[in-house]
Structure formats: C-alpha cells, structure tokens
C-alpha cells in the first residue's frame, strides 16, 4: 500500500519488472526513475504538471504527414544530436560525419552523372561546386556508394516547400567512383528558420533563442555492408554556427565553403561569371545496416510560398 511519495516510485518500478522484454524493462525502469526524480528535484506543482501534459498533447496534435513537432522539439532540446553522436563514430568514441536526417529528405531523387548540376529551374543563390569523398574507418575509399544530396535555395527554401522550384530541384543521387569521390553543382544554400507556431516556438521564446539553422547541404550515403549515414555539411561563413536551433553543428561538419570570383579564377563550368563557391568534404562511414529510413515527406507543397517567421536571439 502507498503511504508516502517514495512508495509511489517503488510501486511503479515493481510493475515495470513484469515487462517480459529485457530492453523494454530497462528503458521503462530508467524512464520512471528519471521522471520521478525530475518531479522531486523541481518540487513540480500541480499547475505545472497540467501545463506540461498540455504541451506533450500539443506536440502530437501538431504532427502530420508533412510536419513532426515531436522530432522538432527533440532537436531543439539536443536529444536528437545526443542520440546521433552516441550511436556513431564507434559508439561516440571518435569524431563522426554522421548527423541528423532532418525533415526534408524525399526518396527517389534523380540519378545523375558525376559532376552534374542539380539546379533544375532558375534558382536564387550563387553557384557552388561540391566534391565529396567517402572513406571507411581506415581511410580506404568506398567505391559504388550512393550519395543522395539536397539543399535549400539561396532563399532558404527546399523545393518541396517552394512552388516556384521545379520538381526535385536541388536534389540528386550520385555514385562514388573508384577513389570514393563524387561531385556536383548546386546553388549555395541559405540558413532557414524552423517553424515556431507550436511548443517549439514557445520553448525558443522562453529562452530568448533564435530559430535559425545555419546553411547546410544534406548528404545521405548508403552502400550494402555499411551503416547508412545521414550527414549535413554546414557553411563555415554562417553567423549562426554556434547557435544552431537544432544543435546539429559539430566540428567535423563545418565545411570550408570557399568563395571565388571568375575575375581572378575561372569556375569549373566556363559558363559561370562572377562569384562562385567550392566545397570539399570527406565522409567516414562505418560497417552496419544499409537500410534507408522512411522518407519524412513525400511530395511538393502546392499554393503559396510559405511565410517564414523569424525569432531574434536576445542578447
Ligand atoms: Fe536542412
């Protein structure tokens, strides 16, 4: 019989012991211990408890086919980044080029020849020429790996969000050559704000945080025998590298985006005039499961260009 606060925790943990699956038992027991410790440590009031229950319910209510508020708040609290870093780089003991998948990957982007442009309709943003290299943990090139890439326009919008962009604009799939290399042309992406119309917005406002992700290009690298790697390479010149709203930026993923000008240096494509950029990055993949995740989105939005809402970071 429960006669004190401590008895509640003991009673719940005793019931957890009934779970047949050992891993489920372990996860549930830790969750109960930490949740109860949180209530004790904070002396959580009844009103605060009601408020938190409302926030959790709202996370689910705002989640749909094209938006996942639960994943967004996990990122905004650093949980996604922690899970990623703990499960890659030899169990978190080495630097890794793995990163968050993000909500904007679409399956089936067009397969392209090495060096091809993935700019499929007139798109704001300077040209950028990207060269990547995929190696294993011993530094040996991985040939024949599929590399699916995607990025925003110079206005910070993915094609699926922006009806003005062609289907699959700034998306493409490449295959590494015998040296593990691949290359392509796109436009230099811009940073973009994460949605703040729900609990994530309330969280950021409460802390005086901005809602920007630094500019980045996404990479999804897969080959049978290797763990599928989601990666993002962030622009070294972005002002928000240290304050990514999703805590995704790691030292291993700050890419050197180098600015050039055709006045002094011709671009790889002679048709380019003026400012252009280049980026080279090396990705290290590990042995493991090569399956692909379920795509978080399936198609393009129709109608108006979405209105982006920006939060300022308070000093
Ligand atoms: Fe992104």
Position 301 pLDDT exceeds 80: no
Q: Give the whole-angstrom CA distance, residue 51 versus residue 184.
A: 49
In sequence order, the 6+-apart residues with CB closer than 8 A to the CB of 204 are: 76, 196, 210, 211, 245, 311
Backbone angles phi, psi at 218, to 5 degrees: -90, 145
Give pLDDT tens digits for 189-206.
999 999 999 999 999 999
* Among 106, 185, 192, 210, the one annotated catalytic: 192
User: Has 213 been annotated as catalytic?
Assistant: yes
Distance 104 CA to ligand 1 centre (A): 7
* Among 106, 210, 218, 277, the one annotated catalytic: 218
Give pLDDT tens digits for 243-287.
999 999 999 999 999 999 999 999 999 999 999 999 999 999 999
Question: Binning pLDDT at 50, 70 and 90, where does residue 84 land?
Answer: very high
Distance 255 CA to ligand 1 centre (A): 15
Q: What 3 state SS string does 229-275 have?
A: EEEEEEECCCCCHHHCCCCCCCHHHEEEEEEEECCCCCCCCCCCCCE
Tell which residue, 312, 269, 309, has the closest CA to residue 156. Answer: 309
Determine the 3-state secondary structure of 34 from DSSP. Answer: helix
Give pLDDT tens digits for 103-120.
899 999 999 999 999 999
């Amino acid at each position: 019989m429960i006669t004190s606060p401590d008895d509640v925790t003991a009673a719940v943990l005793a019931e957890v012991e009934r779970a047949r699956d050992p891993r489920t038992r372990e996860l549930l027991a830790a969750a109960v211990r930490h949740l109860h410790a949180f209530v004790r440590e904070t002396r959580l009031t009844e009103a605060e408890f009601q408020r938190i229950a409302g926030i959790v319910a709202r996370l689910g209510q705002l989640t749909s086919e094209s938006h996942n508020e639960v994943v967004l708040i996990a990122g905004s609290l650093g949980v996604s980044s922690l899970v990623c870093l703990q499960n890659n780089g030899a169990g978190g003991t080495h630097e890794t080029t793995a990163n968050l998948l993000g909500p904007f990957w679409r399956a089936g982007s067009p397969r392209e020849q090495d060096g091809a442009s993935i700019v499929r309709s007139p798109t704001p943003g300077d040209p950028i020429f990207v060269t990547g290299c995929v190696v294993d943990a011993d530094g040996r090139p991985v040939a024949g790996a599929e590399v699916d890439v995607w990025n925003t326009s110079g206005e910070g919008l993915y094609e699926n969000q922006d009806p003005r962009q062609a289907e699959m604009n700034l998306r493409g799939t490449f295959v590494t050559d015998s040296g593990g290399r691949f290359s392509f042309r796109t436009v230099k992406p811009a940073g973009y704000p994460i949605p703040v119309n729900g609990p994530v917005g309330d969280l950021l406002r409460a802390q005086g945080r901005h809602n920007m992700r630094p500019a980045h290009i996404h990479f999804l690298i897969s080959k049978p025998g290797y763990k599928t790697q989601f990666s993002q390479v962030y622009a070294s010149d972005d002002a928000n590298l240290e304050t990514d709203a999703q805590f995704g930026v790691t030292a291993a993923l700050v890419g050197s985006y180098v600015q050039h000008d055709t006045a002094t240096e011709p671009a790889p494509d002679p048709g380019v005039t003026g400012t252009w950029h280049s980026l080279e990055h090396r990705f290290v993949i590990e042995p493991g499961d090569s399956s692909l995740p379920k795509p978080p989105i399936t198609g393009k939005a129709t109608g108006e260009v979405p209105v982006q809402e920006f939060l300022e970071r308070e000093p």
